[in-house]
């Protein structure tokens, strides 16, 4: 009786891994987000009726692991959505059936059925056919994986309540490489991971329980993703240790039933670092032999091993330059060891000098990849893939396409997209990236004067390369929602869908995702689709408009605003803003010459300020603040306006999401709402930091008088303080007025008080405080003697400093204030967090 709730939930645990899909239909389940888009939630009665006449038997032709998975998954999905347990058969019954098999197997049982001509592997055909006189549904794959992909596609059609009566669909992947990368460290932390600790590793070893790994593989397979690099590109040499390989084999075992190949990142210096050689020179025969033996050892334990990902000569990683060798020397050394087994080397093009002299206006980090790799075109073996980030810098909110993508004709490519939102709000901010990726994939590089969109180049279709495709940096973790936020999963979904078919539209993808994730309620679908589709531009507008790059703290967390941090250092991510103007001149005529790396047609687009689109202007050109954009606005006013507009749009997201109360399950409703409210507060931090920085730099006031004027704000430092002491925040724009107050030891509790003097009415009171990750301070707000709110600053933001990463907003709505009221903020520090806060803002309640 006491454990009623627990008991209701128990079957999930019991059943997981034993049988799939057995759950009493009609039980409302708490939704944690764990099931992502594979919820198989019960359909409405009307939709169920539509599928009433589906054959009751699911016949699988063959017993390969992926085929068995296909049958289990289909039965699980049908059970979830229709509340019925279909029959698992291995022989054709004397009745209609759903038949699963590869083309060959299907033809053996259905003589008149003809396999379709599909260009590439892993395709599938869903159709109806007569088999032994019965009308059957055929889910046929070019490969076993194709069958599994066909099953997921079939289930997706059901979840979307699509008609199956004239089923006839052929699908095949756009490219052979559809991989995800995980930047997991062996100690369990994930570099740039925002969804908890590693599902693969903990404390230097592979986890004992890999059930989450299998569930991850299932999510990946549902999108057609066929490979996963499981460890950080900044690789630990231990990955290749002989006693570690059996552990890796366990991961491969968890992947295999889902058709996902295991691959690993390797430290290029491994032959020396852990192999006992005195060199790792790729042209040294001992090194080549070492790699060959190591690879053979791997394949003995993992026969379907995928290959290596290499980050070398980049950001401190050792590489072939140690021996004066080239990336092609390096890649080929590994490729030749892998080649007999069918393995691939992914060699990252993210190679640049991070000690660049910022005083030289001709220096340009953006040039690096092309400068290094373009000359090597044709020197890479056929099982090497150059993995190229979508832009020339590093996953900024807006970059042009990397010119290297158009700069390799005799070399395989893959485009590296970042699913984990390193510069995009780290899953705390809503930012659906498909529109950005689509802009990249559809961009025409005009190579050799032909129409050559990026998607065709990276897929190897333009130059008929043997392989190529898509790599997404996912970084899922142990959080129940995988990425730390249910809505961020749209990016993993979109990556997978685009890797399968880059011709899908952002809106078609998000519509699928929303329906699969939250159901087909029209209000939910309309609202979530619209929020997601606009979210990238919203994020861009308050973090880095006009192609300036994400104006974040580039040297630290890559999270909150830090406008000046990218200047005056060797990392090369410069926006060159000064008192006169802003932007980096990369033209051929007067700048770094970067524009010259593009084809002539693309050069025309970017070489002049007049031609360059507004949204990339500052990436390519340095202009005065008063420069007038195509839009008719000046650059400086655009910076101000876009930050205010973006902030306002996030506030609107909160309001829109609140309308979904009761339309979305309670737990995910609350999770997403909490994140959106946080984002609305943090967007204000961004807005104020960036606008004030540019106001100070430019000296040009906001035409609308907003920047620097906050009539509803009471600065903490202006309150009557007891125990609290004011201090200067660095950089100044990270706090309102450049100052905050803190309650430093040995003081145990501090207060800040002020008198309310405005007219009586209903108000919202917002407290801007600093929530560091090195303590859990407590705050209380009193109106006279009446406690009206209290909270603990226990969020896990990426900084132990008072600053823009930690600045957080608490809203207390619906307060009846009267002139003369004494309002008091009480802070109790904890650990190294000194209950610092910045200001209080009081505005009339809405309505």
CA dihedral 688, 689, 694, 696 (to 10 degrees): 90
Do residues 264 and 318 touch, judged by C-beta distance below 8 A?
no
- Among residues 12, 15, 451, 703, which is the contact residue for a second copy, using CB under 8 A? 15
What burial letters (b/e) apply to 678-708, b meaning 16+ CB within 10 Å? bbbbbbbbbbbbbbbbbbebbebebeeebbe
- Among residues 12, 19, 160, 703, which is the contact residue for a second copy, using CB under 8 A? 19
| 3-class DSSP assignment, residue 388 | strand
Strand (E) or helix (H) holding 489: helix 489-500
CB of 396 to a second copy, least distance (A): 23
Do residues 457 and 409 touch, judged by C-beta distance below 8 A?
no
Whole-number Å distance between alpha carbons of 721 and 719: 6
Strand (E) or helix (H) holding 535: helix 522-543
CB of 365 to a second copy, least distance (A): 31
Q: Contact region for a second copy (CB under 8 A) — 83-91, 171-179, 384-392, 441-449? A: 83-91
Q: Which is nearer to a second copy, 67 or 815 (CB)?
A: 815
- Which of positions 225-264 make contact with a second copy (CB under 8 A)? none
- Which of positions 458-517 make contact with a second copy (CB under 8 A)? 478-481, 484
CB of 106 to a second copy, least distance (A): 22
Q: CB neighbours of 379 closer than 8 A, spacing ≥ 6? A: 326, 328, 332, 411
Do residues 696 and 820 touch, judged by C-beta distance below 8 A?
no
CB of 659 to a second copy, least distance (A): 10
Dihedral over Cα of 449, 454, 458, 462: its sign = negative
- Which of positions 424-463 make contact with a second copy (CB under 8 A)? 427
CB of 778 to a second copy, least distance (A): 8
Q: Which residues are catalytic?
A: 315, 394, 422
Q: CB neighbours of 88 closer than 8 A, spacing ≥ 6? A: 58, 60, 71, 72, 75
Q: Which is nearer to a second copy, 450 or 661 (CB)?
A: 661
Long-range contacts of 276-284 (CB under 8 A, 24+ apart): 279/323, 280/318, 280/322, 280/323, 281/320, 281/322, 281/323, 281/325, 282/320, 282/323, 282/325, 282/329, 282/330, 282/332, 282/333, 282/334, 283/323, 283/325, 283/329, 283/333
Do residues 719 and 754 touch, judged by C-beta distance below 8 A?
yes
- Among residues 10, 508, 589, 704, which is the contact residue for a second copy, using CB under 8 A? 10
The yes or no reply on residue 762 touching a second copy (CB under 8 A) is yes
- The 10 Å Cβ neighbour count of residue 65 is 13
Q: Contact region for a second copy (CB under 8 A) — 191-199, 257-265, 300-308, 402-410? A: 191-199
Whole-number Å distance between alpha carbons of 636 and 623: 10
The yes or no reply on residue 194 touching a second copy (CB under 8 A) is yes
Do residues 238 and 265 touch, judged by C-beta distance below 8 A?
no
Strand (E) or helix (H) holding 837: strand 837-844
The yes or no reply on residue 583 touching a second copy (CB under 8 A) is no
Q: Which residue, 727, 695, 729, is CA-closest to 709?
A: 695
- Among residues 297, 315, 658, 822, which is the contact residue for a second copy, using CB under 8 A? 658
Q: Contact region for a second copy (CB under 8 A) — 398-406, 583-591, 656-664, 683-691? A: 656-664
Q: Which is nearer to a second copy, 548 or 660 (CB)?
A: 660
CB of 794 to a second copy, least distance (A): 6
The yes or no reply on residue 187 touching a second copy (CB under 8 A) is no
CB of 284 to a second copy, least distance (A): 45
Q: Which is nearer to a second copy, 592 or 679 (CB)?
A: 679
The yes or no reply on residue 29 touching a second copy (CB under 8 A) is yes
Do residues 271 and 291 touch, judged by C-beta distance below 8 A?
yes
| 3-class DSSP assignment, residue 800 | coil
The yes or no reply on residue 846 touching a second copy (CB under 8 A) is no
- Which of positions 95-114 make contact with a second copy (CB under 8 A)? 95
Give the per-residue contact string, 804-823, with a second copy (x = CB under 8 A; - = no): -------xxxxxx-x-----
Q: Which is nearer to a second copy, 240 or 676 (CB)?
A: 676
Q: Which is nearer to a second copy, 209 or 785 (CB)?
A: 785
- Among residues 12, 16, 17, 28, which is the contact residue for a second copy, using CB under 8 A? 28
- Which of positions 368-427 make contact with a second copy (CB under 8 A)? 427
- Among residues 585, 665, 766, 833, which is the contact residue for a second copy, using CB under 8 A? 665
- Which of positions 699-758 make contact with a second copy (CB under 8 A)? none
The yes or no reply on residue 520 touching a second copy (CB under 8 A) is no
- Which of positions 779-808 make contact with a second copy (CB under 8 A)? 783, 785-792, 794-796
Give the per-residue contact string, 144-183, with a second copy (x = CB under 8 A; - = no): ----------------------------------------
Q: Contact region for a second copy (CB under 8 A) — 17-25, 280-288, 389-397, 695-703? A: 17-25
Helix 285-301 vs helix 245-255: angle between axes, to the nearest 10 degrees?
50
- The 10 Å Cβ neighbour count of residue 29 is 15
Whole-number Å distance between alpha carbons of 561 and 423: 10
- Among residues 30, 523, 555, 611, which is the contact residue for a second copy, using CB under 8 A? 30
């Amino acid at each position: 009786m006491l454990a009623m709730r627990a008991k209701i939930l128990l079957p999930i645990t019991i059943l997981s891994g034993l049988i799939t899909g057995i759950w009493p239909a009609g039980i409302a389940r708490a939704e944690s987000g764990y099931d992502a888009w594979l919820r198989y939630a019960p359909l409405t009665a009307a939709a169920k009726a539509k599928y009433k006449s589906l054959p009751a038997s699911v016949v699988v032709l063959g017993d390969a692991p992926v085929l068995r998975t296909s049958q289990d998954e289909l039965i699980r999905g049908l059970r979830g959505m229709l509340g019925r347990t279909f029959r698992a058969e291995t022989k054709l019954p004397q009745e209609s059936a759903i038949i699963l098999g590869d083309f060959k197997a299907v033809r053996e049982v259905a003589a008149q059925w003809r396999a379709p001509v599909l260009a590439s592997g892993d395709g599938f055909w869903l159709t109806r056919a007569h088999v032994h006189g019965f009308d059957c549904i055929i889910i046929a794959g070019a490969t076993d994986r194709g069958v599994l992909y066909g099953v997921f596609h079939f289930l997706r059609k059901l979840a979307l309540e699509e008609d199956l009566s004239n089923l006839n669909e052929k699908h095949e992947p756009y490219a052979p490489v559809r991989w995800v990368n995980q930047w997991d460290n062996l100690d369990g932390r994930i570099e740039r991971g925002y969804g908890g600790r590693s599902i693969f590793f903990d404390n230097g070893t592979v986890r004992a329980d890999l059930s989450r790994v299998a569930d991850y593989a299932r999510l990946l397979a549902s999108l057609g993703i066929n490979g996963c690099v499981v460890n950080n590109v900044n690789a630990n040499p231990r990955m290749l240790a002989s006693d570690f390989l059996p552990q890796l084999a366990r991961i491969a075992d968890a992947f295999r039933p889902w058709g996902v190949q295991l691959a690993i990142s390797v430290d290029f210096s491994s032959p020396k670092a852990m192999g006992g050689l005195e060199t790792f020179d790729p042209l040294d025969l001992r090194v080549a032999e070492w790699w060959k033996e190591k690879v053979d050892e791997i394949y003995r334990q993992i026969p379907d091993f995928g290959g290596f990902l290499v980050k070398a000569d980049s950001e401190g990683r050792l590489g072939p330059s140690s021996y004066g060798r080239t990336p092609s020397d390096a890649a080929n050394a590994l490729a030749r060891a892998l080649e007999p087994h069918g393995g691939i080397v992914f060699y990252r093009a993210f190679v640049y000098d991070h000690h660049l002299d910022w005083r030289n206006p001709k220096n340009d980090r953006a040039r690096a990849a092309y400068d290094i790799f373009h000359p090597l075109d044709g020197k890479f073996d056929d099982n090497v893939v150059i993995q190229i980030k979508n832009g020339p810098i590093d996953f900024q909110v807006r970059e042009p396409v990397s010119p290297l993508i158009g700069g390799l004709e005799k070399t395989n490519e893959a485009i590296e997209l970042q699913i984990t939102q390193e510069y995009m709000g780290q899953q705390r901010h809503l930012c659906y990236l498909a529109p950005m990726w689509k802009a990249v994939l559809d961009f025409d590089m005009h190579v050799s004067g032909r129409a050559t969109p990026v998607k065709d180049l990276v897929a190897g279709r333009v130059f008929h390369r043997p392989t190529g495709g898509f790599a997404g940096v996912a970084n899922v973790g142990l959080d129940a929602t995988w990425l730390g936020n249910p809505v961020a999963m749209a990016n993993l979904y979109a990556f997978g869908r685009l890797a399968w078919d880059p011709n899908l539209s952002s809106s078609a993808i998000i519509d699928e995702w929303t329906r699969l994730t939250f159901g087909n309620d029209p209000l939910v679908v309309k609202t979530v689709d619209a929020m997601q589709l606009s979210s990238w531009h919203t994020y861009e507008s308050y973090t880095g408009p006009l192609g300036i790059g994400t104006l974040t703290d580039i040297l630290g967390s890559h999270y909150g605003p830090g406008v000046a941090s990218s200047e005056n250092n060797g990392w090369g991510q410069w926006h060159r803003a000064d008192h006169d103007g802003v932007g980096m001149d990369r033209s051929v005529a007067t700048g770094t010459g970067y524009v010259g790396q593009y084809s002539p047609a693309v050069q025309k687009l970017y070489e002049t300020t007049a031609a360059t689109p507004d949204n990339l202007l500052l990436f390519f050109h340095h202009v005065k603040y008063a420069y007038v954009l195509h839009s008719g606005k000046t650059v400086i006013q655009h910076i101000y306006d876009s930050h205010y507009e973006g902030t306002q749009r996030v506030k609107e997201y909160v309001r829109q999401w609140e309308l979904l109360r009761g339309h979305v399950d309670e737990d995910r409703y609350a999770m997403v709402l909490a994140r959106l409210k946080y984002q609305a507060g943090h967007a204000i931090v961004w807005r104020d930091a960036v606008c004030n920085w540019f106001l100070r730099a430019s000296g040009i006031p906001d035409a609308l008088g907003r920047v620097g004027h906050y009539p509803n704000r009471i600065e903490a430092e202006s309150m009557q303080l007891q125990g609290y002491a004011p201090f200067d925040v660095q950089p100044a724009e990270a706090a309102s007025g450049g100052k905050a107050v803190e309650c430093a030891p040995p003081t145990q509790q501090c207060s800040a008080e002020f008198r309310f003097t405005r007219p009586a009415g209903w108000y919202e009171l917002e407290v801007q405080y600093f929530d560091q990750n090195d303590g859990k301070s407590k705050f209380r707000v009193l109106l006279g003697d009446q406690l009206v709110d209290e909270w603990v600053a226990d969020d896990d933001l990426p900084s132990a400093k008072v600053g823009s990463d930690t600045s957080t907003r608490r809203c207390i709505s619906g307060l009846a204030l009267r002139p003369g009221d004494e309002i008091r903020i009480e802070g109790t520090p904890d650990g190294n967090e000194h209950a610092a806060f910045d200001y209080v803002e009081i505005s009339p309640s809405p309505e």
